[in-house]
Amino acid sequence: MLTIDRSTYDRIVAHARRDHPDEACGVVAGPVGTDRAQRFIPMLNAARSPTFYEFDSGDLLRLYREMDDRDEEPVVIYHSHTATEAYPSRTDISYAGEPGAHYVLVSTRHEAEVEFRSFRIVDGTVSEEQVRVDNAVVPA
């Protein structure tokens, strides 16, 4: 199960809406080993595309260095689908390189309705998990 606080959830959804019709992407980092999604880090989609996303390679290096320095890991890796369901595509699965991360998919295909789902992707196998949005927790 992914537990995420309301403000981080809202920021992910807002990022996805803002970049629509292009895909939005980012990370929520947390202290290593805690599974706590604490630090919201929106990333630039270097592909600037409605059907593809990728972190710029320089941004990726800086992100991982920064997380290393802070003893953090990517707890959530999120991106949006802008015309299809919030479910990992074959491309998403082939690229999924963080077996410990929660892969969050947001679909912005409907203006009024939010689709926010979370998955584990390990060795090419996708398993959906519950998302608990915690209203009480204030992010650090």
Partner 1 sequence: MSIEVRIPTILRTHTGGAKTVEGSGDTLGTLIDDLNSQHSGLKGRLVTDEGVLHRFVNVYVNDEDVRFTGALDTALKDGDSVTILPAVAGGAPILPAVAGG
**Residues near partner 1 (CB under 8 A):** 23, 25, 27, 43, 47, 49-55, 57-58, 60-61, 64, 73, 77, 79, 81-84, 88-92, 94-100
CB closer to partner 1, 56 vs 134: 56
Structure tokens at 1: 């199960």
Strand, coil or helix: 68: helix
CB of 11 to partner 1, least distance (A): 18
CB of 98 to partner 1, least distance (A): 6
Strand partners, 107: 81, 115
CB closer to partner 1, 58 vs 138: 58
CB of 112 to partner 1, least distance (A): 20
CB of 135 to partner 1, least distance (A): 29
Q: Which of 42, 38, 22 is nearest to 30 (CA)?
A: 38
CB closer to partner 1, 39 vs 79: 79
What value does the CA radius of gyration of the chain take, rounded to a whole number of Å? 14
Strand, coil or helix: 132: strand
Chain position carrying tokens 């003893």: 71
Q: Three-state SS string across 14-31, please?
A: HHHHHHCCCCCEEEEEEE
CB closer to partner 1, 13 vs 43: 43
